[in-house]
Amino acid sequence: MIKTFAFRLFLVVMAQQLFAEHIPEKGAFATKAEAIQRLFVKKGAISGMLEIKGRLEQENRGYRSVTIGPYYRLSRHWRIGGFYRVQQGQIHDDDWIALNPGWEWKKTTSRTEHVFSADISPKTLLPFLNFGKFEAVGESKFRYEYN
């Protein structure tokens, strides 16, 4: 029964691939160079963050962004944050366009996008990695972005 279901599911997935459009190659835009600068300013339970990011990819495609927003410390182990980012050069699946013949990426270097995000970050000390005055911290980030 399970083998039959798995085989049918496999056939459905393979049939969908027959009708799929050309999919962008993975790794088509390997990063040539990237720079990220972050500035944090802390006052009590609130930390402000400013991030500036720039990236140069193959075919001289560029990506750049500026992100700003605060983190609020709920407790010793939990922070929440809200951020605004303005970016240019981000590519999306819809930017993969058909030519006759072939496919190529739409030029998005000058397209400006505005992104809002909410972040929750749990963190904890990792005592098994502590060495003298050095304390290791493990942190996860769960982020929702709206573009």
pLDDT in tens, 68-119: 999 999 998 999 999 999 999 888 888 888 887 877 778 888 899 999 999 9
The single residue listed with the structure tokens 């981000």 is 90
Residues in Cβ contact with 88 at an 8 Å cutoff, skipping those fewer than 6 apart: 62, 63, 64, 65, 108, 109, 110, 111, 112, 113
Q: Are 49 and 38 contacting, i.e. CB atoms less than 8 angstroms apart?
A: yes
Residues in Cβ contact with 36 at an 8 Å cutoff, skipping those fewer than 6 apart: 51, 52, 53
The answer to whether the predicted template modeling score (pTM) of the entire model surpasses 0.75 is no
**pLDDT surpassing 70 at residue 32:** yes
Q: Which helix (H) or strand (E) holds 84?
A: strand 78-88
